[in-house]
């Protein structure tokens, strides 16, 4: 069934995502490589790049679903695969960004989070598997059951994603209040991570709300809203990376040996580097 509103939205957001992906590649090659001597495939670059590729894949699948006369039932399965990859990349970025802060403030949580991350790929990729099973049983009368299970499981992974992000973000905000540089001035780097992190968490909450509405109402406009929120997350993480890069470059020129006080101890400014 042709839905021009959904197709136009997906095409627009997909184009924006493609531009972001090209910009990320250009920024890494033209700005980071000369400065960091060949550090292209850092964990953060890889996770952010995979996140944007997955988002682009979701837009393409959703566009095909509403433009083809007879779209393949497995198109939605591929879409869910991209969605699972997107969630994993986002959680990895959050985990790597704030893990040190969780260790500092919640000594018992890191072991729990490590267990969750070890099982996370299985948890996330069960959704596309269930969706594929649902497609296989289409027309047999059993697809309704698998649809319900897949939707409920997907919503559960969304709650898990948001919960982990909230834990890490809360830990960072608490850490931010206890961290000062010389002369009691809050490190700008921590401010950058905090503000962009709050924005990304807000987009993640919106994505979860839209998906829950999609699960309840079955209206694909809510699914498009979820994708738009996903794009907001990608934009926020990309903007954070750029802001941190230029802040680090400025610091390396103006105050290369600056120290940051953390609970009475000292560490090199930029404890939680996310560029």
pLDDT (tens, 9 = 90+) of the chain, 275 residues, equals 667 777 888 888 899 999 999 999 999 888 887 776 656 778 888 889 999 999 999 889 888 877 766 667 778 888 889 988 988 898 888 777 767 667 777 777 778 888 888 888 888 898 888 878 877 777 666 667 777 787 788 778 877 877 887 787 777 677 666 665 444 555 677 678 778 888 888 898 898 888 888 878 877 778 778 878 988 999 999 998 898 888 877 777 665 555 444 443 333 333 345 46
271 close to 100: Cβ distance less than 8 angstroms: yes
User: What contacts 268, CB < 8 A, 6 or more positions away?
Assistant: 259, 260
Helix axes 220-254, 4-27, angle to 10 degrees: 20
Is residue 238 within a helix (H) or strand (E), and if so which, with residue range?
Answer: helix 220-254
Closest CA to 86 of 116, 114, 48: 48
Please state whether beta strands 259-262 and 265-268 pair in parallel, antiparallel, or not at all (unpaired): antiparallel
Res 2: pLDDT = 67
Find residue 252's DSSP bridge partners. none
Alpha-carbon distance of 4 to 8, in angstroms, equals: 6
What tokens were used for 139?
A: 């027309």
Alpha-carbon distance of 206 to 237, in angstroms, equals: 16
Residue 118 Cα distances to 51, 115, 123, 260, angstroms: 19, 5, 10, 33
pTM over 0.85: no
């Amino acid at each position: 069934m042709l839905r021009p509103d959904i197709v136009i939205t997906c095409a627009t957001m997909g184009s924006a995502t493609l531009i972001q992906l090209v910009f990320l590649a250009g920024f890494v090659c033209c700005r980071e490589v000369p400065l960091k001597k060949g550090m292209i495939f850092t964990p953060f670059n890889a996770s952010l790049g995979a996140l944007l590729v997955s988002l682009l894949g979701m837009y393409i699948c959703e566009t095909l679903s509403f433009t083809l006369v007879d779209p393949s039932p497995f198109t939605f399965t591929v879409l869910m695969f991209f969605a699972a990859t997107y969630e994993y990349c986002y959680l990895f970025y959050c985990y790597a960004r704030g893990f040190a802060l969780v260790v500092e403030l919640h000594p018992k949580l890191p072991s729990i989070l490590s267990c969750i991350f070890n099982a996370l790929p299985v948890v996330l990729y069960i959704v596309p598997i269930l969706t594929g099973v649902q497609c296989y049983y289409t027309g047999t009368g059993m697809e309704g059951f698998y649809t319900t299970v897949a939707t409920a499981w997907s919503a559960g992974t969304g709650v898990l994603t948001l919960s982990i992000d909230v834990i890490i973000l809360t830990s960072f905000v608490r850490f931010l209040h206890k961290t000062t540089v010389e002369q009691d001035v809050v490190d700008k780097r921590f401010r950058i991570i905090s503000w962009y992190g709050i924005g990304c968490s807000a987009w993640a909450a919106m994505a979860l709300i839209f998906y829950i509405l999609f699960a309840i109402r079955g209206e694909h406009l809510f699914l498009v809203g979820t994708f738009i929120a996903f794009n907001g997350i990608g934009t926020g993480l990309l903007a954070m990376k750029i802001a941190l890069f230029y802040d680090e470059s400025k610091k390396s020129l103006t105050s290369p040996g600056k120290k940051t006080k953390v609970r009475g101890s000292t560490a090199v400014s930029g404890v939680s580097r996310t560029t």
